[in-house]
Chain A
Amino acid sequence: MSSSQKARQSPVDDLARWLDDRLRLAEGGRKYLHKAFPAHWSFLLGEIALFSLIVLFATGVFLALFYVPDHRLVVYDGPYVPLQGQEISAAYESTLRLSFEVRAGLLMRQIHHWAALVFVAAIVVHMLRVFFTGAFRRPRELNWVIGLALLLLAIVAGFTGYSLPDDLLSGTGLRIGYSVLLSVPFVGPLLGFIGLGGEYPGTDTLGRLYLMHVLIIPAGLVGLVTAHLVILMRQKHTQKPGGRARQHNVVGEPLFPNQVMTSLSLFAFTVAVLALLGGLFEINPLWLYGPYEPFEVFAPMQPDWYMGWLEGLMRLWPAWEWTMFGVTIPAIFLPGVVVPGVLFGLAFAWPWIDRRWIARDEREHHLLVRPRDNPLRTGIGVAGITFVALITLAGSNDVIASDLGMGLQTLTWWLRVLTVVLPPLAGWVAYRIAASLGTGGAEDADPASPGGDDEGDAAAPESLETGSDSPAGEGAARS
């Protein structure tokens, strides 16, 4: 009694009361203490992405304090001997200064770069989890779309970021990006000129990339992440069937203290791994590449991993360039613009494709399925992963060819054949495996709420409870 009264007089409690006096927090906040978080490691993948983003913001602000987005030439007189006396851009010079002269500058830069790689990777793995467990199904289509938009933004953030140092590698990547813009029929040259302020390489480019990278894209990321989380709170988590988990409830660890401490622990581990990577594993040693000169190039040259699929598409695509009625369709238009657009378009539309043709199920779902429970979806997913993996590999075809002691053209032909043959094959094998494993009574564990149809009446919670206890298979879903 006396001890609990003592605890209530701690400054934290005083602050809480002070805030509640002014904001009426206890009333609504009470239920959040026991908000249920289904406990499974696969639900933490998105958190890794979120924590990487926090690390990106923290290290990014530090980098921004030293980086100068300026093309103007200066003579380098810093400590890196091979470049001393050379005329380089102020942007490149500021990046070198950050790397060699600013205390912890190199650590911050390398953590930032590693965090970007981990950020995109965590998003992709999180997305695969959501895909294969059917977590994108109604009512979570919106968060699927927002998640994909976040992936797109993350890729653009990465590209604008590694284009900033104005070293030879970044300048060449930018050159390719400009050429892709240029390839769009009718508006390409105008788009390119508006994007870069004139012909490449322009003098406005770095300033614009910098603004995109530190203001416009982060604003989009913050807005979309916020929407993603608000919708997540509103719709509550999905969960695996089993135990006490039902369609009409959420079973898990309470937000406080368990989930808060688990998340804090995961945050600390994420930072630890990124710090270790940034401290020990050199990434983008831009002093070795030298300053960007439009007529210079080195080989082999690879972009960051998340750009590899685009690079691979451009390397694999046959040399098809047509002129019809005086209009040329440049060779890079299809692999650089159309195919990536179609791929992302399909991904954005997936929840609707799935409900129409794959699961044939328009009901609301809060219980997850296993990949084996929907062999067709699993097969398509595996085929997609195989395709993207192959074109990503093709983005390093020169390195692979020399590692294998194989002719580059031979390898490229093999990769072309494989990207056509292997995805359907892998998808078919995955489909067969999933189908042979069987659902094992998973239909019973995957009931949907009745009344999920657009035309149907909204179900009251009572009727939802009854519905969840009666088994409803995929076949019974069409009404």
Chain B
Amino acid sequence: MGSSEAPASRRAEEWRRQRERQDRAARIAAICFVVAIVAALALFVVYVTGGQTQLEGVLLAVAFGAVGAGLAVWVRRIIGPREVVEERYPMRSPQETRDEFEAAYHDALGEATTTGRRRFLLRLLGGAGASLGLALLVPFRSLGPTPQDEMFTTTWREGVRLADTEGREIQAADISPDEVITVFPADAIDDPSAQAILVGTREGQLEPDALPGATVEGMVCYSKICTHAGCPVGLYRAAAGELLCPCHQSTFDVHRAAAVVSGPAGRGLPQLPIGTDDEGYLIALGDFSEPVGPSFWNLTHDAPGT
């Protein structure tokens, strides 16, 4: 009597414990969902009363997080892990099925397979497809113009005055040594490919032999577009006389024709030859010494127009 009762009571005990665990889990899940409701309503109130980014984010996170936690407790603790086993078959169809399909396919092609007509027609159809493909490429060509001179030239011309980004024309006395200023043609302010940087250097620092173009009283002017990936060469280390591109850190020596000192750029910055006009304003004496910007396949190292 006692021996048969013991397992039964143990089972009952286990069952009771499991029920208790599930009840506890259900309470936790319920709390989670209540938290989600409260957070969502609070989010609604915050939003209606004007909104506040941080509070919105936190409340949204609490609402979704509580739903996630409630679901996790529900599936892990109340439903509990279950295991099912599915059969799997090789992906390849059984050989008979393949054979049947092939037979049916060739059957469906009918008499066309037995004559030379099919091959002939298929070739023509292929030709029609290829021709159509070619014709349909043309609209894509409309997406942009053919690259012309703009790859090689800029709006700088002989006699054009240098002006800063505000359009103010510049006199030689405006630039002191170690100073740099972004300049444009006075008649094309903000023209992206004409952007240039005017550098004031100390006496004797410039190496005129290295420079392809003219300078004015220790002032030298280079294209501001990096020859590597086209970023503006915007940083100047006056002590070293180096222009630095912040994108990939190409460094150019302003004293020696802006040759590459270090970094990944493949060629130096093109120089803009400068002079002064009768009124003392700085002018360009022509276009840059070679095409500006990142290199491209048919780049020439001559000054545009020569």
Contact between chains at B249 and A321 (CB < 8 Å): no
Contact between chains at A461 and B246 (CB < 8 Å): no
Q: Does A84 sit within 8 A of B, measured CB to CB?
A: no
Which of A254, A280, A298, A331 is close to B84, meaning CB atoms less than 8 Å apart? Answer: A254
Q: Does A414 sit within 8 A of B, measured CB to CB?
A: no
Contact between chains at B81 and A295 (CB < 8 Å): no
Q: What 1/0 mask marks residues of chain B from 276 to 300 whose CB sits below 8 Å from any chain A CB?
A: 0000000000000000011111110
Q: Does B51 sit within 8 A of A, measured CB to CB?
A: yes
Contact between chains at A297 and B231 (CB < 8 Å): yes
Q: Does A34 sit within 8 A of B, measured CB to CB?
A: yes
Which of A110, A275, A326 is close to B61, meaning CB atoms less than 8 Å apart? Answer: A275
CB distance from A264 to the nearest CB of B (A): 5
Specify the chain A residue showing the minimal Cβ separation from B267: A321
Specify the chain B residue showing the minimal Cβ separation from A276: B61
Specify the chain A residue showing the minimal Cβ separation from B67: A268
**Chain B residues near A320 (CB, 8 Å)?**
266
**Chain B residues near A264 (CB, 8 Å)?**
68, 71
CB distance from B106 to the nearest CB of A (A): 20
Number of A interface residues at 8 Å Cβ cutoff, please give it: 110
Q: Does A82 sit within 8 A of B, measured CB to CB?
A: no
**Chain A residues near B246 (CB, 8 Å)?**
297-301, 398
CB distance from B238 to the nearest CB of A (A): 16
CB distance from B261 to the nearest CB of A (A): 9
Contact between chains at B71 and A461 (CB < 8 Å): no
**Chain B residues near A218 (CB, 8 Å)?**
none
Q: How far is the CA of A22 from the CA of B203 in the complex (A)?
A: 91
Which of B54, B68, B165, B297 is close to A279, meaning CB atoms less than 8 Å apart? Answer: B54
Given contact pairs A179-B229, A189-B147, A244 touches B53 in the complex (Cβ within 8 A): no
Specify the chain B residue showing the minimal Cβ separation from A452: B90
CB distance from B251 to the nearest CB of A (A): 8
Q: How far is the CA of A364 from the CA of B62 in the complex (A)?
A: 45
Which of B58, B62, B81, B298 is close to A280, meaning CB atoms less than 8 Å apart? Answer: B58
Q: How far is the CA of A329 from the CA of B95 in the complex (A)?
A: 53
Q: Does A175 sit within 8 A of B, measured CB to CB?
A: yes
Contact between chains at B79 and A186 (CB < 8 Å): no
Q: Does B7 sit within 8 A of A, measured CB to CB?
A: no
CB distance from B49 to the nearest CB of A (A): 10
CB distance from A61 to the nearest CB of B (A): 17
Q: Does A48 sit within 8 A of B, measured CB to CB?
A: no
Among residues 171 to 219 in chain A, which have CB atoms less than 8 Å away from a CB atom of chain B? Answer: 172, 175-176, 178-180, 182-186, 188-190, 192-201
Q: How far is the CA of A324 from the CA of B235 in the complex (A)?
A: 33
Contact between chains at A295 and B84 (CB < 8 Å): no
Contact between chains at A175 and B147 (CB < 8 Å): no
Q: Does B171 sit within 8 A of A, measured CB to CB?
A: no
CB distance from B235 to the nearest CB of A (A): 6
Contact between chains at B264 and A331 (CB < 8 Å): yes
Q: Does A39 sit within 8 A of B, measured CB to CB?
A: yes
CB distance from A282 to the nearest CB of B (A): 9
Contact between chains at B294 and A328 (CB < 8 Å): no
Q: Does A443 sit within 8 A of B, measured CB to CB?
A: no
Q: Does A36 sit within 8 A of B, measured CB to CB?
A: yes
Contact between chains at B90 and A459 (CB < 8 Å): yes
**Chain B residues near A452 (CB, 8 Å)?**
90, 92
Contact between chains at A248 and B81 (CB < 8 Å): no
Contact between chains at B150 and A107 (CB < 8 Å): no
Specify the chain A residue showing the minimal Cβ separation from B263: A319
Specify the chain B residue showing the minimal Cβ separation from A253: B82
**Chain B residues near A300 (CB, 8 Å)?**
246
Q: Does B140 sit within 8 A of A, measured CB to CB?
A: yes
Contact between chains at B64 and A250 (CB < 8 Å): no
Which of B64, B86, B147, B228 is close to A331, meaning CB atoms less than 8 Å apart? Answer: B228
Which of B64, B90, B98 is close to A449, meaning CB atoms less than 8 Å apart? Answer: B90
CB distance from A312 to the nearest CB of B (A): 10
Q: Does A273 sit within 8 A of B, measured CB to CB?
A: yes
CB distance from B90 to the nearest CB of A (A): 5
CB distance from B157 to the nearest CB of A (A): 18
Contact between chains at B297 and A185 (CB < 8 Å): yes
**Chain B residues near A331 (CB, 8 Å)?**
227-228, 264-266, 295
Q: Does A409 sit within 8 A of B, measured CB to CB?
A: yes
Contact between chains at A249 and B90 (CB < 8 Å): no
Contact between chains at A295 and B224 (CB < 8 Å): yes
Q: How far is the CA of A110 from the CA of B61 in the complex (A)?
A: 14
**Among the interface residues A106, A275, A409, which one has the most CB atoms of the partner chain B within 10 A?**
A275
Given contact pairs A172-B231, A321-B267, A265 touches B75 in the complex (Cβ within 8 A): yes
CB distance from A408 to the nearest CB of B (A): 6
Q: Does B167 sit within 8 A of A, measured CB to CB?
A: no
Specify the chain A residue showing the minimal Cβ separation from B70: A265
Contact between chains at B79 and A261 (CB < 8 Å): yes
Q: What 1/0 mask marks residues of chain B from 210 to 231 whose CB sits below 8 Å from any chain A CB?
A: 0000000000000010011111
**Chain B residues near A318 (CB, 8 Å)?**
264
Q: Does A112 sit within 8 A of B, measured CB to CB?
A: no
**Chain B residues near A183 (CB, 8 Å)?**
294-296
**Chain A residues near B260 (CB, 8 Å)?**
319
**Chain B residues near A254 (CB, 8 Å)?**
82, 84
Specify the chain A residue showing the minimal Cβ separation from B150: A199
Q: Does B89 sit within 8 A of A, measured CB to CB?
A: yes
Which of B74, B86, B95 is close to A35, meaning CB atoms less than 8 Å apart? Answer: B86
**Among the interface residues B146, B192, B193, which one has the most CB atoms of the partner chain A within 10 A?**
B192
Which of A103, A190, A258 is close to B82, meaning CB atoms less than 8 Å apart? Answer: A258
Contact between chains at B297 and A186 (CB < 8 Å): yes
Excluding A248-B89, A297-B231, 10 further A-B contacts by CB distance (< 8 Å) are A103-B51, A104-B47, A200-B192, A249-B88, A268-B65, A298-B234, A311-B248, A330-B299, A332-B229, A458-B90
Chosen A-B contacts, 21 in total, with CB atoms closer than 8 Å, are A139-B91, A176-B247, A189-B297, A198-B145, A235-B91, A251-B83, A253-B82, A254-B84, A258-B75, A262-B72, A265-B72, A269-B68, A272-B64, A276-B57, A278-B57, A279-B56, A279-B58, A314-B248, A316-B264, A319-B260, A459-B90
Q: Which residues does B use to contact A, with CB under 8 Å?
A: 47, 50-51, 53-58, 60-65, 67-69, 71-72, 74-75, 79, 81-95, 98, 140-141, 143-147, 150-151, 165, 182, 190, 192-193, 195, 224, 227-232, 234-235, 246-250, 260, 262-267, 293-299
Q: Which residues does A use to contact B, with CB under 8 Å?
A: 34-36, 39, 103-104, 106-107, 110-111, 139, 172, 175-176, 178-180, 182-186, 188-190, 192-201, 234-236, 244, 247-254, 257-258, 261-262, 264-269, 271-273, 275-280, 293-301, 311, 314-321, 323, 326-332, 335-336, 364, 366, 397-398, 408-409, 412, 449, 451-452, 457-461, 464
